[in-house]
C-alpha cells in the first residue's frame, strides 16, 4: 500500500496538475459515471466526523475528515483527516494519504478552476476573508491563475496576521512569486474596495461582506465556508447582482446556507 505524506503529495504535483484533476473530476461528474452518496456527517456536540465515499470505475475514494471547533484554542488545526483509495474490483486498500493536505489542495484548486474561467483575465488584486489553512491555499491558486500583484487580508478573530503572512510569503516564494505585496485590512469593506477577486474561507454564520450592491458589483467571488445550512458568507446583495445561479448538485441548496437562506427568504427562487 502507498502512504503519502503532505510533503510527498506537494512534491508529486504542480498547482496546474491539481486544477486539471479538478476539471477531470467535473467531466466525470457530467458523465454521470460514478456513485457518490450525499456526504454523511456524524456529530457529537459541536464535533463532527465527515465521511465522503465515491465509486468510479477505476478506483474508490473515501475522504474522512474531523472538524473539531475547539482545536485552534489547543494549537491544533480545526480540520484533520485521511484519504483512502480502494481497488474498484476487490475493495482492497491501495493508498492512504494526508486528508487535511488533500482537502487544502483540492478545495484551493476548486477555487483556482473557478477563477481560471470566471475571473477577469487582468485581475491583479485578491482579498481573503478568513486567514486559515484553506484561505492560504485558495490564495496560492489565485496567484497561479491570475497576474496578482496585491493580496488583501482580513480575519475577524486572528488579529495578529504576521504568522499567516510569513507562511503565505514562504509558500508564494516556493512557487516563484516573491514580488506580491500583502496588505492587512481593518474590515471587509476596505478589503472589497481594494480587491477584484474576493475569497472567503471562514466558519461564519452571518455574511462576511457588507450587504452593499455597489461595493460588490463586478467582483468575482469564491466562498467555501458555507457547507452547512446555518453557515453563510455571501450577503443578499451578491444574489441581487446576478441573473442566474447554478449548482452542480441539487443538494447544495439544502446543505449550503449561502443558497438555502436566500432561497427561504425569496432572494433566490429555485
Ligand X SMILES: NC(=O)c1ccc[n+]([C@@H]2O[C@H](COP(=O)([O-])OP(=O)(O)OC[C@H]3O[C@@H](n4cnc5c(N)ncnc54)[C@H](O)[C@@H]3O)[C@@H](O)[C@H]2O)c1
> How far apart are the C-alpha atoms of 22 and 29, rounded to whole Å?
10
Cβ distance to ligand X smaller for residue 129 or 234: 129
* Interacting residues with ligand X between 50 and 69 (CB under 6 A): 67
Nearer to ligand X, 54 or 88 (CB): 54
Binding mask 90-129 for ligand X (x = CB under 6 A): -------------x---x---------------------x
How many residues bind ligand X, per CB under 6 A? 25
- Give the nearest distance from C-beta 208 to ligand X in angstroms: 5
In SS3 terms, 240-255 reads as HHCCCCCCCCCCHHHH
Number of neighbours of residue 127 by Cβ within 10 angstroms: 27
Q: Using CB under 6 A, which of 25, 28, 96, 158 touches ligand X?
A: 158
135 contributes a contact to ligand X by CB under 6 A: yes
Interacting span for ligand X (CB under 6 A) from 19-27, 116-124, 133-141, 257-265: 133-141
Residue 72 binds ligand X (CB under 6 A): yes
The CA distances from residue 103 to 2, 147, 171, 188, 242, in Å, are: 18, 25, 17, 26, 29
The sheet carrying 40-44 orders its strands as 2-4, 93-98, 79-87, 59-67, 47-55, 40-44
130: left (phi over 0), alpha (psi -120 to 50) or beta: left
Residues lying near ligand X in the complex (CB under 6 A) are found at: 67, 72, 78-79, 103, 107, 129-135, 155-158, 201-204, 208, 224-225, 227
Amino acid at each position: 500500500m502507498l502512504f503519502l505524506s503532505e510533503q510527498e503529495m506537494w512534491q508529486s504535483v504542480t498547482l496546474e496538475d491539481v486544477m486539471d484533476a479538478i476539471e477531470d473530476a467535473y467531466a466525470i461528474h457530467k458523465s454521470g459515471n460514478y456513485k457518490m452518496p450525499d456526504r454523511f456527517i456524524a456529530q457529537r456536540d459541536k464535533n463532527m466526523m465527515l465521511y465522503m465515499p465515491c465509486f468510479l470505475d477505476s478506483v474508490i475514494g473515501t475522504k474522512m475528515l474531523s472538524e473539531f471547533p475547539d482545536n485552534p484554542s489547543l494549537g491544533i488545526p480545526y480540520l484533520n483527516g485521511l484519504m483512502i483509495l480502494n481497488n474498484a474490483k476487490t475493495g482492497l486498500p491501495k493508498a492512504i494519504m494526508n486528508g487535511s493536505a488533500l482537502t487544502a489542495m483540492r478545495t484551493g484548486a476548486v477555487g483556482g478552476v473557478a477563477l481560471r474561467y470566471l475571473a477577469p483575465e487582468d485581475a491583479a488584486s485578491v482579498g481573503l476573508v478568513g486567514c486559515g489553512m484553506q484561505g492560504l491555499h485558495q490564495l496560492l491558486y489565485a496567484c497561479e491563475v491570475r497576474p496578482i500583484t496585491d493580496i488583501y487580508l482580513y480575519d475577524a478573530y486572528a488579529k495578529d496576521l504576521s504568522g499567516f503572512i510569513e507562511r503565505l510569503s514562504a509558500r508564494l516564494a516556493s512557487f516563484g512569486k516573491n514580488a506580491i505585496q500583502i496588505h492587512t485590512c481593518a474590515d471587509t469593506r476596505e478589503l472589497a474596495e481594494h480587491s477584484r477577486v474576493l475569497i472567503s474561507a471562514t466558519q461564519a454564520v452571518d455574511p462576511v461582506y457588507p450587504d452593499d450592491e455597489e461595493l460588490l458589483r463586478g467582483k468575482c467571488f469564491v466562498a467555501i465556508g458555507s457547507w452547512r445550512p446555518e453557515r453563510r458568507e455571501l450577503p443578499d446583495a451578491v444574489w441581487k447582482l446576478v441573473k442566474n445561479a447554478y449548482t452542480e448538485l441539487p443538494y447544495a441548496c439544502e446543505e449550503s446556507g449561502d443558497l438555502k437562506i436566500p432561497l427561504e427568504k425569496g432572494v433566490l427562487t429555485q
